[in-house]
Amino acid sequence: MAEVNCVEKVSRGPLGQSNERVLWTLLVVVALAMRLVSLGGAPLSGAEAREATLAWEAAGGEALAAGDYSPLLLAANTLLFTLFGAGDAVARLWPALFGSALVLTPALLRRHLGRGGALGAGVYLALSPTALVASRQLDGTVVAAAGAMALVGGLSMFSEGQQRHWLWLAAGGLAMALVSGAAGYGLLIPLGLAWLVSSEPWADGGHAWLQGVRTALKTYGRQFLLAFVVAVFALATGLGWNLSGIGAVGGLLIAWIDRFRSPGAPTASPLTLLVVYELLGFLLGVGGMVWCWYRRNRWGVLMSLWAALAFLLLVLQPGRAPTDLMGVVLGLAMLAGLALDALVRDEWSSRAAIRAVYATLVLVLWGQAYLVLAGYAHRGDPADLVLVLIIGALQALVGLSFGFVLGPRATLRTGVVATSLVLLGLLVSATRGVAYTRRTDPREPLAGEATAANVRDLVDTLRDLSWQTTGMPMTLDFVYEAAPDSVLAWTMRDFTGARRVDRLSDLSDDQWGPLLVTVDRDVGRAVGPGPDYVGLDFPLRRRWTPAALTCRLWESDCATAVGWYLFRDSPPFPAPAERAILWRRVEAGGGDG
């Protein structure tokens, strides 16, 4: 049976070429703004501080320490730090730029997604909380995602016109995904497996894109391999500057494999992250998946398998990071684009007034349900839950009623569009919270091991003391206890009079000085330097577990869980899991030293 496409020819899309260019340009501007605004507003996390410290030391001419790191980001940030100096925002600049470029990559797949579908996929990648968080932290995940999409898009474009520059783009994208971070393997391995699986079924129908790519690689395989090897060397070594970056590329594969056996910090399950942050993309993606499997469209099958296999790998990885969800989000975004393109192509002019009335009722009912749930989160009145159930029943009754007038297909599509608008509001709210207003709140599972903003209070306090003592802001003499690539070491890097030690016990008492900064990793068992010092606490990291979010629906006791889902609010406030303590010596007479 010949394959039936989920989309019609791109030339028949509802967007004109000039309007399409304007919309893509506007989308890139919005994506850049969302990723660059307040980029340094939150302090670097522990993993970010390690990457930034390596680049900062390299920019200062120090030898690179052995270990796992992103060779691409190391070379790129070393260049930035050399030109502009080190800083939190500067350290995150490259991921922000690559994250903005990721938004453009669905444009390479317009033949499969349709013009409206490609634009819809780009909009979703611009707004996705996972993509935005990955773009606003010093990590190679979003760079790998952009490389994986460049690989798929480049091969797709090359299979259509056999233009060599698309082949170079695909080779460069593959290289970029492999040298940017361990997450690249979590993107490419499911994609490769999905490609192998989707090329076997329905062989009698054939798939022009898969056959074109296969033929192109057979004909130009050596050129592709050569371009890939050159790109890997150039990106991993910084054009030959850091030859040890080649070894670091192999270390990334080992680091990815370690995620299957070495549990890291506790993270939420992939399904929880999808429901909490990516519900719109998840539902549209599943809808597009069902539609394309029903229509036997191999492109949709490929994207479905990519998302499903990436999800399976995450489930099997106890050491996964929250932003590793990008592998699932990319596949869902493409499927959501297919679903959106099908919705855009519907005959909306037919019975438009009745459709508008039905869509308005759907929006009103969902809005009322949200308000009732918000009230339940604050009051805990079980009657609110009953009211939500009644609203759900009314929603179904209204849909059945309009189905007799509009028909099942028109009613379903209208209801999907109206519901998608509601979910879009929830998506924007979740994006705003995790990327801007609550970036350091551990009650945001996508934030991972975020550093508390209090570390900057510590730096400000030391700067004030330096003004008082030396008349300069960064010349204060003090000793601080920290690992060489820790958050504390990164934030203290500009204090010229500071002395770092791994452990305070490495120094004798007479070497401590009047000011000390120690790290308490076992909060509640604070060990100070002695009775001659008084201390001031600054939380470095806070701990929160969802143990209090029990939901016993049969007892109507879900107010805390609902309040967390809607507002990320849950008592008690997260307690410190790690803190820095500023100690100041007290003279025998009672005055400060």
pLDDT of 564-576, one tens digit each? 999 988 877 888 8
**What letter represents residue 390's amino acid?**
I
Span 320-342, mean pLDDT? 94
Look at residue 263 and tell me whether its pLDDT is greater than 90: no
pLDDT tens per residue, range 486-543: 999 999 999 999 999 988 888 877 788 889 999 887 665 555 677 788 889 999 999 8
Least confident of 33-42, 197-206, 380-389, 421-430: 197-206
Q: pLDDT tens across 194-220, in order? A: 988 876 644 433 456 666 667 767 778
Is 50 exceeded by the pLDDT of residue 593? no
Strands 533-543 and 575-585: antiparallel
- Residue 313 banded pLDDT, cuts 50, 70, 90: very high
**Average per-residue pLDDT in the chain?**
87
Residue 409 burial (10 A CB sphere; 0-12, 13-18, 19+):
exposed
- The SS3 call for residue 574 is coil
List the helix and strand counts (H, then E) for the chain. 22, 5
How many residues appear in the chain? 593
- Output the pLDDT for position 40: 93
Asked if pLDDT for residue 348 goes beyond 50, the answer is yes
Confidence (pLDDT) at 2:
43
8 Å CB contact between 289 and 272:
no
Confidence check: pLDDT of 549 > 80: no
Task: Give the per-residue pLDDT at 296.
Answer: 78
**Residue range 163-169: mean pLDDT, rounded:** 88
Q: How many CB atoms lie within 10 A of CB 243?
A: 11
Is the pLDDT reported for residue 407 higher than 80?
Answer: yes
